[in-house]
Amino acid sequence: MAESGNKSGYIAAGLVALLALLVIGLWTCTVKVAADKIGVRRVNTGKGVEERDYGPGYVLQIPGLHVVTLWDPTWTNLKETLQVRGSDQYTTTVDMSVVFRIEPQKCHEVAKNFPNEDRVEQRVRNSMNKFANEILAQMSTEDFFDTKVREGKAVEAQKAMDDTLRPIGIEVRYVLLRNILYDPKFEAQLLRKQLAGQQKSLEMAKGQLAGAQTQTELIRRNAEAEVKQIDESKRQSTENLNADTERKIAQLTQDAKQKAATVLSKAESSKRQKIARSDLIKATATAAGTAAMSRVYSKPGANYYFARQAVEGMRLGEIEVNSSTFNPLDSEKLLKALGLDMTVKTPATPSGQNPPKP
């Protein structure tokens, strides 16, 4: 039992020792590559830098056999203040920034030419100074005022640097020019030039103002003339419209009067015709009645009838008649005694006409 216990103890101690050796080996024989880094391993047996970039994780590094270096693959902004002597021999101070990085999957290429990142930055800085003196020096001091010219030269410098550094694994994306300070002598000259330009611009502005005022006055007068012309045209149009309206009203009134006179004339003519026709009918009826009465008067015994009617229509007081001289029943003599002559006179018959028949 004791021997088995000692044996288990030896095994446990061996496992602990092995684990400790493993931890020490991992600690001393590996390099951790962070998420924002790229690892490059160099083999000291003569093979040199391995053609591989190691991403985030652990890279084996056996002491004396391997050397692992870490590189930053992100964009770096390298800034330097430069004094550029322009084509007009004035010195311009400018802050020049270069944005660059190690190309993806090219860290091992960079490691062949540079031992560390500081040497990479130094190489980029040397390239910046070289092309600043070659390209930016082509500009005059006034060109730095012109944004289009300045940015064009910055792009030209960026392209030249990128063409030079990309074969060794360095990519240059931007070249930026900022905080431009001009030569004091040029500043004074520029100030005088600006004042002269401003004075000239002021005189030109005054001339333009005078011209604009003249043009405004002409426009105002033309507008007033056009308004008067429009008002006169409207007035004439209104008068013509009123005259035409009055003429139409007079014509309509005259036509209405003529139509009324025509209607009235026709009505008067119709009235006269109807009155004449009525008079004719009345005269005809009167003649017919007279003729009928004549025929009645010519009938035997008519005088007695009319005498009776006359007597019946009379209102007489007391009448005394001498019956010794005539017969009171003889109506004809009685009427004569009363002063009434009942003899019927036949009306004269016009020539060419036959007397009325009884």
Same domain, 160 and 251: no
Residue ranges with strand state E in 118-246:
170-181
Q: How far apart are CA 91 and CA 319, in angstroms?
A: 175
Task: Of 34, 78, 28, 85, give the one whose Cα is nearest residue 57.
Answer: 34
**What's residue 300's pLDDT?**
65
Tallying the residues shown for the chain, one arrives at 358
Number of CB atoms found within 10 A of residue 337's CB: 15
Same domain, 127 and 102: yes
pLDDT in tens, the chain (358 residues): 555 556 666 676 666 666 655 555 555 788 899 999 999 999 988 788 999 999 999 888 888 788 999 999 999 999 999 999 988 888 999 999 999 999 999 999 999 999 999 999 999 999 999 999 999 999 998 888 899 999 999 999 999 999 999 999 999 999 999 999 988 887 777 778 777 888 888 888 888 888 888 888 889 888 888 888 888 888 888 888 888 888 888 888 888 888 888 888 888 888 888 888 888 888 888 888 777 777 766 666 666 666 666 656 555 556 666 666 666 666 666 666 666 555 545 444 444 445 444 4
**What's residue 2's pLDDT?**
53
Cβ-contact 55, 38 below 8 angstroms:
yes
What H or E segment, with its residue span, contains residue 246?
A: helix 184-297
HEC-encoded secondary structure of 47-73: CEECCCCECCEEEECCCCCEEEEEECC
Q: Evaluate whether residue 290 is within a structural domain.
A: no
Q: Which of 140, 160, 182 is the last residue of a domain?
A: 182
SS3 at position 44: coil
Question: In whole angstroms, how large is the CA radius of gyration of the chain?
Answer: 75
Same domain, 106 and 141: yes
Question: Cβ neighbours of residue 226 under 8 Å, at least 6 residues apart?
Answer: none
Q: Which of 49, 71, 93 is the last residue of a domain?
A: 71
Amino acid present at 56: P
Question: Cβ neighbours of residue 73 under 8 Å, at least 6 residues apart?
Answer: 36, 37, 38, 101, 102, 104, 107
Same domain, 163 and 138: yes
Same domain, 80 and 65: no
Question: Cβ neighbours of residue 83 under 8 Å, at least 6 residues apart?
Answer: 91, 92, 93
Q: Can you tell me which residue has the tokens 């010195």? A: 91
Same domain, 107 and 133: yes
Region of 352 on the Ramachandran plot (φ > 0 left; ψ -120 to 50 alpha; else beta): left
Q: Evaluate whether residue 32 is within a structural domain.
A: yes
Q: How far apart are CA 348 and CA 279, in angstroms?
A: 24
**What's residue 352's pLDDT?**
45
Q: Evaluate whether residue 353 is within a structural domain.
A: no
Q: Which of 118, 148, 182 is the last residue of a domain?
A: 182
For the chain, what is the domain count? 3
Same domain, 43 and 81: no
Instruction: Give the domain extent around 36.
Output: 25-71
Same domain, 142 and 128: yes
Q: Evaluate whether residue 287 is within a structural domain.
A: no
Q: Evaluate whether residue 332 is within a structural domain.
A: no
Q: Evaluate whether residue 284 is within a structural domain.
A: no
Same domain, 162 and 197: no
Q: Evaluate whether residue 46 is within a structural domain.
A: yes
Q: How far apart are CA 115 and CA 307, in angstroms?
A: 181
**What's residue 81's pLDDT?**
94
Same domain, 130 and 57: no
85 pairs with which residues across the strands?
91
Same domain, 90 and 141: yes
Task: Of 78, 74, 73, give the one whose Cα is nearest residue 158.
Answer: 78
Q: Evaluate whether residue 230 is within a structural domain.
A: yes
pTM of the model: 0.48
Query: The domain spanning residue 170 has which CATH number?
Result: 3.30.479.30
Same domain, 54 and 115: no
**What's residue 41's pLDDT?**
94
Question: Cβ neighbours of residue 129 under 8 Å, at least 6 residues apart?
Answer: 80, 82
Question: Cβ neighbours of residue 36 under 8 Å, at least 6 residues apart?
Answer: 72, 73, 74
